[in-house]
């Protein structure tokens, strides 16, 4: 698909450094570099993270204000923005912008699709399900970042399973040869470091990771655990670490932009989440060739197993601290296992690069905009495009 001059609008309801926001920033910047003109519509009262992340890329950021949950005035404003920027396509992310984006795109007369990223938070209230079902009917495509989420969307929104496209997240990472993290944490050559990356929320499973650390503390007296992220659980995690007598080996790094540097200093990457779609941190750990211990949630099992005999990580049940401790102990005590896992991870990661994700979205954009060009992914059959959303019924 020829992207030169194509105008794309990306709509997102939040502006912090989370997975959906990082994906939007990466996709918009990648498309901009390929010749498309990109606009990101993000909240005016957010943190400004997207604006900072996109600074210097050429991507424009338009702030919005949504004063109340139901606002026809906001839909009219959004449609006017799409017309003013002459957007050829609107791509929304998560519930609020999926609904308003579909509404505004219909008013502006441009194609629309939306991507859902994480859990089934939208399904808790039937009003949200109905709103999303209407949004699906007004959209050219519904996208999920994992097969499990696609199945949930199909059931929850009464859509045919073939009507939900799965496009896994992709990440880019330039490996770092020499990490500064171990010096920062005052670690010696004999110290071991397990790293997790994710904000400090209950769903990320950091409490279970800390309990597993407590179970391993005597067996591995030089083991340290570090978490990169921020959130409400910081004080309670520190208190629990002290109660487990591992406070001096438990490190909360805060929000970090140098993920490649952190990964280069780790002996093992841990993903203890209780629920996920497809976390970018997992893909970055794979690209960095780290041995991985992860919970079998969302798309994680598919990514690490890949349907083959060679596993790219050790999978455990979510919420099981004992299983987590056992898996970490195995990686830390068996270097050949760690090396095999790391080698398999970096090979599997080639299916989840930022370039590959962008190609898949470009193929979808091509169909929705009626491009005359045929994308190579379509020719090779690497992406199955959904049927039009309007008028679907659940199979």
Domain 7-170+353-380 and domain 181-352 have a common topology: yes
* CA separation for the pair 43, 51 (Å, rounded): 11
* CA separation for the pair 234, 256 (Å, rounded): 15
- Which strand (E) or helix (H) includes residue 349? none
Per-residue pLDDT for 71 more than 90? yes
**Residue 372 confidence (pLDDT):** 55
Which residues have a Cβ under 8 Å from the Cβ of 22 and sit 6 or more positions away? 53, 280
Per-residue pLDDT for 391 more than 70? no
**How is the chain split into domains, by residue range?**
7-170+353-380, 181-352
Side-by-side strand order, sheet with 112-116 = 60-64, 37-43, 7-12, 89-93, 112-116, 141-144, 164-166
* CA separation for the pair 270, 158 (Å, rounded): 36
What 3-state class would DSSP assign to 75?
A: helix
Per-residue pLDDT for 43 more than 70? yes
Give residue 227's Cα distance to chain centre: 17
Q: Tens digit of pLDDT for each residue in 309-360?
A: 568 999 999 999 999 999 999 999 999 999 999 999 999 999 999 999 999 9
Lowest mean pLDDT among 178-187, 302-311, 320-329: 302-311
**Residue 306 confidence (pLDDT):** 64
* Residue 44's pLDDT band (cuts 50, 70, 90): very high
Distance from first CA to last CA of the chain, Å, rounded? 32
Average pLDDT over residues 273-293: 94
Per-residue pLDDT for 378 more than 80? no
Instruction: Yes or no: say if 252 and 95 are a contact pair by the CB < 8 Å rule.
Output: no
Alpha helices in the chain (DSSP H): 19-33, 49-54, 72-84, 94-108, 126-137, 147-156, 181-184, 206-216, 234-243, 259-264, 280-287, 300-305, 321-333, 335-348, 354-369, 376-380
What 3-state class would DSSP assign to 91?
A: strand
* CA separation for the pair 355, 27 (Å, rounded): 9
**Residue 258 confidence (pLDDT):** 95
Give the position of tokens 């997975």. 19
Per-residue pLDDT for 211 more than 60? yes
Side-by-side strand order, sheet with 192-197 = 250-254, 223-228, 192-197, 268-271, 292-295, 314-316
Share above pLDDT 90 across residues of the chain, in percent, rounded to a whole number: 80
**Residue 389 confidence (pLDDT):** 38
User: 114 has which bridge partners?
Assistant: 92, 142
Lowest mean pLDDT among 71-75, 160-164, 215-219: 160-164
What is the 3-class SS of 350-372, one letter each residue?
A: HHHEHHHHHHHHHHHHHHHHCCC
**Residue 379 confidence (pLDDT):** 44
Give 87: exposed, middle or buried? Use CB within 10 Å, 0-12, 13-18, 19+. buried
CA dihedral for 343, 349, 351, 354, sign (positive or negative) = negative
* Residue 307's pLDDT band (cuts 50, 70, 90): low
* CA separation for the pair 94, 91 (Å, rounded): 10
* Residue 175's pLDDT band (cuts 50, 70, 90): confident
> To the nearest whole number, what is the mean pLDDT of the chain?
91
> Global pTM?
0.85
What is the 3-class SS of 218-242, one letter each residue?
A: CCCCCEEEEEEECCCCHHHHHHHHH
* Residue 122's pLDDT band (cuts 50, 70, 90): confident
Which residues have a Cβ under 8 Å from the Cβ of 99 and sit 6 or more positions away? 131, 132, 134, 135
* Residue 260's pLDDT band (cuts 50, 70, 90): very high
Which residues have a Cβ under 8 Å from the Cβ of 47 and sit 6 or more positions away? 15, 16, 17
Give the position of tokens 């999926």. 98
Give 274: exposed, middle or buried? Use CB within 10 Å, 0-12, 13-18, 19+. middle
Candidates 65, 105, 69, 99; CA nearest to 85 is 105
Per-residue pLDDT for 275 more than 60? yes
Which CATH superfamily, name and number, covers 181-352?
A: Glycogen Phosphorylase B; (3.40.50.2000)
Which architecture, in CATH terms, is 7-170+353-380?
Answer: 3-Layer(aba) Sandwich (3.40)
Share above pLDDT 70 across residues of the chain, in percent, rounded to a whole number: 92
Lowest mean pLDDT among 183-192, 205-214, 303-312: 303-312
**Residue 107 confidence (pLDDT):** 98
């Amino acid at each position: 698909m020829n992207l030169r001059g194509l105008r794309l609008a990306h709509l997102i309801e939040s502006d912090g450094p989370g997975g959906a926001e990082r994906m939007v920033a990466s996709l918009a910047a990648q498309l901009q570099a390929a010749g498309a003109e990109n606009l990101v519509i993000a909240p005016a009262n957010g943190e400004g993270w997207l604006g900072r992340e996109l600074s210097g890329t050429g991507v424009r950021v338009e702030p919005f204000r949504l004063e109340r949950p139901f606002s026809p005035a906001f839909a009219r404003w959004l449609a006017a923005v799409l017309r003013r920027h002459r957007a050829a396509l609107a791509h929304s992310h998560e519930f609020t912008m999926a609904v308003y984006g579909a509404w505004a795109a219909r008013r502006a007369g441009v194609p629309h699709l939306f991507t859902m990223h994480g859990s089934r938070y939208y399904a808790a209230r039937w009003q949200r399900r109905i709103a999303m079902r209407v949004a699906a009917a007004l959209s050219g495509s519904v996208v999920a970042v994992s097969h499990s989420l696609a199945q949930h969307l199909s059931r929850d929104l009464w859509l045919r399973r073939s009507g939900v496209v799965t496009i896994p997240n992709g990440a880019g990472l330039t490996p770092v040869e020499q990490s500064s993290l171990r010096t920062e944490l005052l670690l010696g050559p004999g110290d071991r470091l397990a790293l997790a990356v994710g904000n400090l929320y209950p769903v990320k499973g950091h409490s279970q990771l800390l309990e597993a650390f407590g179970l391993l503390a005597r067996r591995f007296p030089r083991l340290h655990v570090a978490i990169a992220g921020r959130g409400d659980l910081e004080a309670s995690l520190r208190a629990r670490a002290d109660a487990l007598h591992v406070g001096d080996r438990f490190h909360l790094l805060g929000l970090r932009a140098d993920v490649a540097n952190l990964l280069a200093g780790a002996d093992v990457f841990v993903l203890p989440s209780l629920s996920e779609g497809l976390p970018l941190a997992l893909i970055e750990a794979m690209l960095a060739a780290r041995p991985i211990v992860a919970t079998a949630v969302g798309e994680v099992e598919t990514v690490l197993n890949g349907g083959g005999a060679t596993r790219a990580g050790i999978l455990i049940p979510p919420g099981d601290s004992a299983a987590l401790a056992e898996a970490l102990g195995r990686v830390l005590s068996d270097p050949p296992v760690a090396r095999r896992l790391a080698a398999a991870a970096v090979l599997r990661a080639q299916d989840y690069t930022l370039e590959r994700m962008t190609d898949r979205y470009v193929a979808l954009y091509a169909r929705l905009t009626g491009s005359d060009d045929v994308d190579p992914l379509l020719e090779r059959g690497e992406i199955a495009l959904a049927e039009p959303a309007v008028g679907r019924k659940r199979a």
